[in-house]
């Protein structure tokens, strides 16, 4: 079960696979990840998950041969492309973001089928999405889990490679401080100078924005995971 803490939590990272979910899923299974079964959202997109302690990685796309299912992901590039923060009160998050000057869409309900104890149920979410993204190049939104038991199933969290949690997310930007401060404003935290760049400290991981003059548009670069034995390694998206 998820529990609210004082500082905003990271919910999940999105790896965009566009119309190649079926073709690319084996790449992640070969790395030793146990993927959830493919599920189709009420909005037409489909996904498979790498479920970790308190977070997950979403492999997101749409059926092959079909047009992109959702307008906000139609132009999303392959690879790590979205940060999703957790909320426990979607309406309050919507209001906070509006008050901070962001263009925010009304709270949306998202559903998809899920298996729970051998029975098909509906996994339900409230999402707070931006009408205009706060930063070019990085899609982000907030997610409230109405049925967290449908995601954090113990069976899905047992990975042959020992993966346990998300440890760190790295991004690159020509204005690392400005990008980190913008991310921090979205998350409701304060950015901190760190290691040649800036950190956005969340309750369960840090987003590190590295100074890179070549990255005129901010870009998400790597996801670092932690195994049960404490070892850290970068997720190979194969894209």
Residuewise pLDDT in 10s, the chain (239 residues): 455 556 899 999 999 999 999 999 999 999 999 999 999 888 888 999 999 999 999 999 998 888 887 888 888 989 999 999 999 999 999 999 999 999 999 999 999 888 888 888 999 999 999 999 999 999 999 999 999 999 999 999 999 999 999 999 999 999 999 999 999 999 999 999 998 899 999 999 999 999 999 999 999 999 999 999 999 999 999 87
- Cα(226)–Cα(233) distance, rounded to whole angstroms? 7
Does residue 138 sit in the same domain as residue 177? no
Half-sphere exposure for 119 (CA within 13 Å, toward CB): 4
Residue 239 located in a structural domain? no
For the chain, the domain total comes to 2
Does residue 153 sit in the same domain as residue 172? no
Residue 78 located in a structural domain? yes
pLDDT tens digits for range 183-221: 999 999 999 999 889 999 999 999 999 999 999 999 999
Structure tokens at 202: 């969340």
Q: Label residue 59 exposed, middle or buried (CB < 10 Å: 0-12, 13-18, 19+).
A: buried
Residue 196: per-residue pLDDT? 87
Residue 4 located in a structural domain? no
117-134: buried (b, 16+ CB within 10 Å) or exposed (e) per residue? eeeeeebbbbbbbbeebb
Does residue 42 sit in the same domain as residue 94? yes
Residue 63: per-residue pLDDT? 87
CATH number of the domain that residue 50 is part of: 3.10.180.10
Does residue 42 sit in the same domain as residue 129? yes
Residue 29 located in a structural domain? yes
Q: Which domain holds residue 70?
A: 10-157
Residue 1: per-residue pLDDT? 45
Residue 103: per-residue pLDDT? 98
4's CB contacts (< 8 A; 6+ apart) are: 88
Question: Which H or E run includes 51?
Answer: strand 46-51
């Amino acid at each position: 079960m998820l529990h609210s803490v004082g500082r905003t939590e990271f919910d999940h990272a999105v790896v965009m696979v566009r119309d190649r979910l079926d073709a690319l899923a084996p790449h992640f299974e070969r790395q030793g990840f146990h993927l959830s079964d493919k599920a189709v959202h009420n909005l037409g997109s489909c996904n498979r998950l790498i479920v970790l302690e308190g977070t997950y990685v979403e492999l997101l796309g749409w059926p092959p041969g079909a047009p992109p299912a959702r307008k906000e992901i139609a132009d999303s590039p392959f690879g790590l492309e979205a940060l999703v923060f957790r909320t426990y009160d979607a309406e309050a998050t919507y209001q906070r973001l509006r008050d901070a000057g962001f263009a925010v869409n009304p709270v949306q309900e998202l559903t998809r089928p899920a298996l729970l104890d051998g029975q098909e149920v509906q996994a339900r979410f409230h999402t707070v999405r931006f009408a205009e993204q706060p930063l070019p190049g990085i899609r982000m939104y907030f997610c409230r889990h109405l049925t967290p038991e449908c995601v954090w199933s113990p069976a899905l969290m047992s990975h042959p490679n020992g993966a346990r949690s998300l440890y760190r997310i790295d991004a690159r930007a020509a204005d690392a401080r400005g990008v980190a401060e913008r991310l921090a404003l979205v998350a409701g935290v304060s950015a901190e100078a760190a290691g040649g760049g800036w950190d956005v400290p969340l309750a369960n991981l840090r987003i590190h924005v590295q100074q890179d003059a070549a990255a005129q548009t901010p870009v998400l670069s790597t996801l670092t995971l932690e195994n049960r034995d404490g070892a850290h390694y970068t997720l190979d998206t194969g894209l």
